[in-house]
């Protein structure tokens, strides 16, 4: 008797099936923003408040060399925005894990790597929207590009790469704790020292000597300095290479960690 072979599962269909599954998961995560637009609205309010506060409240008390404070500030705001936004990966994955959704994904004929790839890709798309909005806000409060459009686009690309890199850190955190409230609480101690002890908002030279050693070389500072150089001029190559090295190193460490944690958890 002739038998009919079962249809090939997406997980066994090769790389294109992995891409297909990852896009499906990314679409599912993006649809959440359409159904609950408040998530996107409130994720953009915080960086707008930071821009207004530092521009008009603290800006007059902060002096920067060779330029206006708003031109110095905006590259740091871009970095701060994508780092803060990356926390949604921790909260989202912890929520999906607690609700049993990740186990449902695991029971489907889909590539296991697609869940994390789709989650981080959706966050990347969200960062494109948020970064574009923040650029518009920056131009509205006086921020100006002093280089050229290609350098500006390169800087925005570095912003998105940096945000994507941090998404994998927080994905690991979310899978490790498995609870959305705990994920949010655990993410802040990771994020706060990097964002606030950096050159994002004030020059490193204004900090105590012992703190400068950390602030000068940590990833947020070198990335903010690289984007600042691409936007308003200055030494570029060294900062860009350092930022790319940080991104590459973080991805090499945290992508395998997140995948391993996902396999152990689900």
Q: Determine phi and psi for 108, rounding to 5 degrees.
A: -85, 155
Could you tell me what percentage of the chain is helix, strand and coil, using 3-state DSSP and rounding each to the nearest 5? 80, 0, 20
27-36, 106-115, 210-219: least confidently modelled range: 106-115
Domain map (residue ranges) of the chain: 14-201+209-265
pLDDT score at 3: 45
pLDDT at 111 over 90: no
CA separation for the pair 154, 188 (Å, rounded): 29
Mean pLDDT value of segment 60-88: 88
What number of CA atoms fall less than 13 Å from residue 219's CA on the CB side?
A: 23
Q: How confident is the model at residue 6 (pLDDT cuts 50, 70, 90)?
A: very low
Q: What is the pTM of this model?
A: 0.89
Nearest to 156 by CA among 219, 88, 223: 223
Q: What is the mean pLDDT of residues 171-183?
A: 91
């Amino acid at each position: 008797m002739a038998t009919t072979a079962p249809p090939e599962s997406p997980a066994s269909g090769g790389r294109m099936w992995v891409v297909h599954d990852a896009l499906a998961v990314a679409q599912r995560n993006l649809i959440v923003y359409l159904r609950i637009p408040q998530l996107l609205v409130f994720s953009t309010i915080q960086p707008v408040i930071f821009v207004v506060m530092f521009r008009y409240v603290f800006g007059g008390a902060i002096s920067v060399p060779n330029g206006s404070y708003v031109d110095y500030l905006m590259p740091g705001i871009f970095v701060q925005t994508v780092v803060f936004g990356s926390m949604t990966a921790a909260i989202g994955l912890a929520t999906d894990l607690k609700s049993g959704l990740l186990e449902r994904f695991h029971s489907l004929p889909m590539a296991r790597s697609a869940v994390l790839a789709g989650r981080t890709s959706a966050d990347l798309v969200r960062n494109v929207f948020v970064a574009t909005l923040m650029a518009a806000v920056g131009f509205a409060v006086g921020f100006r590009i002093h280089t050229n459009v290609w350098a500006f686009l390169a800087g925005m690309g570095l912003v998105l790469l940096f945000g994507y890199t941090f998404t994998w850190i927080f994905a690991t955190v979310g899978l490790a704790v498995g609870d959305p409230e705990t994920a949010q609480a655990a993410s802040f101690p990771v994020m706060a020292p990097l964002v606030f002890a950096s050159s994002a908002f004030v020059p490193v030279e204004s900090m105590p000597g012992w703190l400068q050693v950390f602030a000068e070389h940590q990833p947020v500072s070198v990335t903010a300095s690289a984007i600042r150089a691409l936007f308003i001029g200055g030494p570029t190559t060294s900062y860009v290479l350092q930022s790319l090295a940080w991104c590459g190193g973080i991805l090499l460490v945290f992508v395998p960690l997140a995948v391993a944690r996902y396999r152990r958890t689900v």
